[in-house]
Chain A
């Protein structure tokens, strides 16, 4: 099947890896990009008319929770993989907080095995940095990476012990992958559930100060400098963290960063109705923080847009605000939600594509993020103008915890190819071989 030919004709080809932004045809053959150019002479194979659409490298989401193994009632590799390709993501990077935790090569192999059987999207696991996400004893990093892990992280179980974090960063260089940090000082967060400020005071809910993130980003940057390791900062949410990352990069420290669609477009005021689908970790922040995150994404300080897709069942979210688990789903809405920055003129279409494909591929050292001849044919087609209304109940994720439920979306993923195979067609749905 990979030997099939597909002609993608007349679209606006946006390829950050080549700096290309022009109307062109793309020819896919044997799972790879065979040619890109104007008016390629078609002969045989399937034709996809792409006039009016953007043709981009398939997106790579650096931060998702697929919940398998262990919490398949929230999501599994099959449903998460479908949600991914419907959202334009040809690959997802899944966090280690499964049950059991992905702190052992056998778990990594299980995830990859399930992905091969069930997922239309590529699945790249993140291994735990410490055993059981306990923050004390490091995992067999080399074995995890040999098994297929593309990065290491304890994600939400932030490593609070600076000495452990130092050794984790140092040792990670042997495994040649990034350490991803969920940077929040838990001793400052305490019971905090919404951004500390006028909104938390009005709501009467415990505040989580932006300083909790900033102080931890500062610590991890210093430890990255000390160790020389690659630190990747997950879901940056504060102006202070953006500033620290910018200056660290200027000093030559190997730090990369991602930001979520929700931290780019929603402020803490979205929480004023006590909707638990606006409860995230880190929390939605002030307008000033949102502006800084957008500016950081535009100027390249923040490398990537990642969703932190975090499915939770309705009955888990439909409880008191303090008791609800944090997190929202995001795979199926990331494209229209973040196109807001393009429409606002804050980032060019080409740079927006870079943040969603080329840069994530570089951070995890995997193929993708390119439409150069010979590159793997992971491709998404986007209609940037098409309007639709998002209903999580009709989506592919098993969960519905989205702050955008019922909202009109502008911009739609009309097709996704993985390895030269059409796996998503907006008219026909998810197509499995």
Chain B
């Protein structure tokens, strides 16, 4: 593996990604047992340091850690010293002094996991930072696609929604292109960030063109508060132009699958009846998230890493 920390997919190469996905397959088998626990990380301590609330991702990491027999500690900033204006680095260094084997960080501002990683002895795993990266989400998305399609080469992955504010879009863009797939991004022009094509994807403002021949459709959550920033005029107009339903899906391949990182806004970016049934694989993504995070913890928290290591 390239580095001590998992800060973003941008830092990984294809071999790194394939290794994690292969490990995740073995981890998935653990989840199918009656006793869903192996002793791999026994005696290790993991800290979930979530400055931004996220019940889903935090729970997924917690279950992943516990299935590996690690001790998982959740640090909840709202009820702690952060309200006393302690700096983020001071908080992180205080936790680091308790010798955890990995710190899993989520923050609403891009770059915070990197700053924390620079300061800590423990490896840092990014659980989502601002609009920068969400590497474990991309890994579980890739894992899901691999299970469905068996390959990445030659696939077309279309990501639809607020690309500007999406860490999921960025991490998936890096992951799928590194693995050999073609990535398309579709959004209103206000939600396609400047220079996005320099990252290796093709940008579309026509949903139909973006869907043409797609193997995978990934739908992003649209956030009501973007109305304030003048990014789109109304939920209604967004739903009618970029919301995905079965009629629009006909432009894609017959065996297309539909993914969503959750939580979903039914009837907004995804039609109600599409969210629950094939070709949607949204709950498979959640299930796979545990196996993929077990693989990540195994690789990044499983060795007693040193600052130099």
Q: Interface residues, chain A, CB within 8 Å of chain B?
A: 190, 196-205, 207, 209, 273-274, 315, 318-323
B67-103: CB near A (< 8 Å → 1, else 0) gives 0000000000000000000011100000000000000
By the criterion CB–CB under 8 Å, are A207 and B194 in contact? yes
Decide: B114 and A204 in contact? CB cutoff 8 A. no
**From residue 100 to 125 of chain B, which have CB atoms closer than 8 A to chain A?**
107, 109-112, 114-115
Contacts of A205 in B (CB 8 A): 110-111, 130-132
Interface string of B218-232 (1 = CB under 8 A from A): 000000000001000
B190 to chain A, nearest CB (A): 13
Q: Which residues of B contact A319 (CB under 8 A)?
A: 87-89
Q: How many A-B residue pairs have CB under 8 A?
A: 64
* A202 & B111 in contact (Cβ 8 Å cutoff): no
Q: Is B132 a contact of A320 with CB atoms below 8 Å?
A: no
B1-30: which residues lie under 8 A (CB-CB) from chain A? 10
Residues of B within 8 A of A321 (CB): 109-111
- Cross-chain contact B199 with A198 (CB below 8 angstroms): yes
Determine which of A204, A273, A318 lies in contact with B129 in the assembled complex, contact meaning CB atoms within 8 Å: A204
Taking a contact as CB atoms under 8 Å apart, the answer to whether B194 and A320 are in contact is no
Complex alpha-carbon distance, A200 and B195, angstroms: 9
Q: B193–A207 contact, CB under 8 A?
A: yes
- B196 adjacent to chain A (CB < 8 Å): yes
Known contacts A197-B194, A201-B195, A204-B129; decide if A315 and B110 are in contact (CB<8 Å): no
Q: Select one of B111, B167, B196 contacting A320, CB under 8 A.
A: B111
A402 to chain B, nearest CB (A): 17
Q: Are B194 and A200 in contact (CB under 8 A)?
A: yes
Interface size, chain B (Cβ < 8 Å): 25
Task: Tell me the complex Cα distance, A21–B96, Å.
Answer: 59
Q: Once bound together, how far apart are the Cα atoms of A197 and B194, in whole Å?
A: 5
Interface of B is mostly: mixed
Instruction: Report if B133 contacts A (CB, 8 A).
Output: yes
Would you give the 0/1 interface string for B248-287, flagging 1 where the beta carbon is closer than 8 Å to chain A?
0000000000000000000000000000000000000000
A204-B133 in contact (CB<8A): yes
B66 at the interface (CB under 8 A from A): no
Inter-chain contacts of B131 with A (CB < 8 A): 204-205
CB-nearest residue of chain A relative to B196? A201
Known pairs A197-B194, A205-B132; list 17 more (Cβ under 8 Å): A196-B194, A197-B195, A198-B195, A198-B198, A202-B10, A203-B110, A204-B111, A204-B131, A204-B132, A204-B167, A204-B170, A205-B111, A274-B111, A320-B88, A320-B107, A321-B109, A321-B110
CA distance A96 to B77 in the complex (A): 38
Q: Least Cβ distance of B261 to chain A in Å?
A: 15
List B contacts of A323 (CB < 8 A): 109
CB distance from A263 to the nearest CB of B (A): 19
Inter-subunit contact B111/A201 (CB<8 Å): no
A274 near B88 with CB under 8 A, answer: no
Q: Is the CB of A198 within 8 A of B88?
A: no
A320 touching B170, Cβ below 8 Å: no
Complex interface: chain B residues within 8 A of A199 (CB): 195
Task: Tell me the nearest residue of chain B to A201, going by C-beta.
Answer: B193
Bound-state CA distance A209–B195 (Å) is 12
7 smallest CB-CB distances across A and B, nearest first, come from: A204-B132, A198-B195, A274-B111, A204-B131, A204-B110, A320-B109, A198-B198
Complex CA gap A320/B132 in Å reads: 13
Residue of A nearest to B87 (CB): A319
Assess the B109–A200 pair: CB atoms within 8 A.
no
Which residues on the B side are within 8 Å of A202 (C-beta)? 10, 170, 199
What is the bound-complex CA distance between A315 and B115, given in angstroms? 14
**Residue numbers in A under 8 Å from B193 (CB-CB):** 200-201, 207
Cα separation A130 to B10 with both chains bound (whole Å): 47
Q: How far is the CB of A47 from chain B (nearest CB, A)?
A: 50
- Which of B87, B115, B133, B170 has the most C-beta atoms of chain A within 10 angstroms of its own C-beta? B115
CA distance A201 to B193 in the complex (A): 6
- With A197-B195, A209-B194: A203-B87 Cβ-Cβ less than 8 Å: no
B146-205 contacts to A (CB < 8 Å): 167, 170, 193-196, 198-199
Shortest CB-to-CB span from A272 to chain B, Å, is 10
Distance between Cα atoms of A319 and B107 in the complex (Å):
12
Taking a contact as CB atoms under 8 Å apart, the answer to whether A273 and B114 are in contact is yes
- Measured between alpha carbons, how far is A199 from B229 in the docked complex, in Å? 21
Chain B nearest CB from A313 CB (Å) reads: 12
